Structure 1
Amino acid sequence: MALHPKVIDLSLGRIEGLLAKLGHPERALPPVIHIAGTNGKGSTLAMIRAGLEAEGKRVHAYTSPHLAHFHERIVVAGEIIAEAALAALLEECEAANGGAPITFFEITTAAAFLAFARTPADYTLLEVGLGGRLDATNVVARPRLTVITPVSVDHTQYLGETIEAIAGEKAGIIKRGVPCVIAPQRDAALGVIEGRAGRLGAPILAEGQQWDVAREGDALIYRDERGLLDLPLPNLAGPHQVVNAGTALAALRELGAGAVGCEAAVTRAVWPARMQRLTRGPLVEAAEGCELWLDGGHNPAGGEAVAATLRGMGAKPTHLICGMLNTKDVAGYMTPLAGVAESLTAVAIPGEANTLPAEATAAAAASVGLPATVAPGTVEAVRALAAAHPGARLLICGSLYLAGRVLRENG
């Protein structure tokens, strides 16, 4: 397959051409919920999916990136697509494309649309890959609902340097007359999103206006124009998941979900590598009695979310094992963590061309006041920390690519 020379090249022309050759499967999808944002897209999608499935709905889902295996990205009517079925769809897309330039994400998005169009379901959940306006998923002319999770600064080389520019790209998924759920936003981002919604006549369901959510003790309290929900706290760890839960609940209520679906959204969602406790496998054995956690957050907002989660987990010495890409704001990610972790052990991400060398990651940590060393790999780092700090909390963090590697190797 002759892929486009750029891994990322934001444009709709190539995928629109391929979808036309395939008979426009994007026009035959079950009702689409389209989700953009910087942080929380995957968790919010997982909660919406859990809520819909609890009410007996069949749900397709398209997410990225994958963690352990590529075919995890495509869930067809509740089941991860079989590798053989995906391979056949990709061959079909390649044949239809006829050697024209196409990116990897574009052709896999087309394959997902084929799978979804050919299998009956009640809803299709689409997570934007990057940005929104020019993302390959943004070819659905009239989704049932759009959702914009919190917008912060990330991927500036593609989306712009300012929060306003980035919000403009995310808001590109808003469609004329289609309701849009808006998670808590900075004022500058909210102004851009509301401006586009207003121009397109898209009804908005914004946090702080049409709905709000908060933790009260051991309960999650959600309020909107339909009334109040008193629910358990989200099963996904971290205070930031309260916001994601509120966003998911606003979406579910707009879709007509009842009490069963709303409770399932916060109690049954599954989303690996988001403050995930590892409880078995070779890495857990290497940790020798230490708590072992895994998180894929990789930008400043992600660092703040991890720090807030750690502060809420109870007093225990915490040591980080961190690998990051060279395209990220490394110091920005680490700054909030410097106040909650005692040390950082830096590793390179195996097999990733854009990995930041461990020495550079350690230097960035030291620059924000976080004592740092380097290790040749994750297993070695876990063993060394477990030996030096018995019973401590160890968190592997900094990249979804590192998290995926950990999940594959840990079984």
Structure 2
Amino acid sequence: MTNDRNIHILSNARIVLADAIIENGWLAISGEGIAEIGEGCPPERGEDVDGDLVMPGLVELHTDHLEAHYVPRPKVYWNPLAAVVSYDGQLATCGITTVLDSLRVWREDTDDEVDGEAMKLANAIATAREAGLLRADHYLHLRCEVPMPGVVNEATSLFVRPEVRLASLMDHTPGQRQFRDEEKLRTYYRGKNAGMTEADLDNMFATRIAYQKQYGDNNHRALVKLAHEQATPLASHDDTTLDHVEQAISDGVSIAEFPTTLEAAGALHEAGVRVMMGAPNLVRGRSHSGNIATADLAKADKLDILSSDYVPSSLLAAALTMPKFVAEIDLPKAIRTVTKTPAEAVGFTDRGEILAGKRADLIRVHVAHDVPAVRSVWRAGRRVA
């Protein structure tokens, strides 16, 4: 290795490769990429990381946490650009270097003001990117609520954006999928919108059921067609039965988000569809809505990808915890669920693993009392946190 001032060396590191760990290793960053990896002492003095873990930057495919920054309280709108910058900073300090921001592509007459704001938030993300305000690499995930009357028109205007990397087909109609038990959905809305009465819920549920009957099938076909025309990967959502699995396979989905039963998850996995589950589910030990536990799918070897969903810090915590839940899963395999596999699922071939020639998206992680702390973050070779 030449004495190049543009080379930055990390030494005395536990380096997590895609299929192994270098217990005492070093790596060299040159420009935007990983130049070299080695074991023992580096050929030149480097930054001593004191035995901390060095692993690929995390790749997040589904987080709707931006909404909490944009509407931090009911009926309180934050400046959308400021919300994006705040949210981005939280992601980066949690070790996430590539993120698909999940935006709701639908509008509904409820107290939830985040609905119908996908274009505004997409524009704010683009503005932040162009202004150099972002630490992580941001793309878009369009969450399409299939039965909603205006979803196809709104999706059509968004699908053409080059930053769109994933679209999910969702149906939260009462009595279906995640909410086959309508009382669970009522409990969810009672907690989320405390001002809703039982009569309000009755009206909402009746409207949603009517929308599903009137628009569901046609919207589903139109959204699948849009995704295929734009070569955008598709995700199914909350698959519960084998009929849902057959529909997902027919639609050509590449990812199954949060299947609710072992039967559905197993059939999807066997069909080559990558199964994605919530990291908060694994950290908490159960689903917040009573569905299949992430740990159970991991034990059955039916889990491919983790998503932080609504708690950004859960992504790293869950991956580091997984080997404790499942003896057959070692640390490299667990870390692949938040790095290499999600990257490949949406077409990123330049990141997601520590390998010479790959992009230097890296994180340094210190663990104490079973809690990880991200000490440093590099994106494309530049330290961003």
TM-score between both structures, scaled by the size of structure 2? 0.31
Name the one with the larger helix percent: 1
Q: Which has the higher strand share?
A: 2
* Structure with larger RCO (C-alpha < 8 A, sep 6+): 2
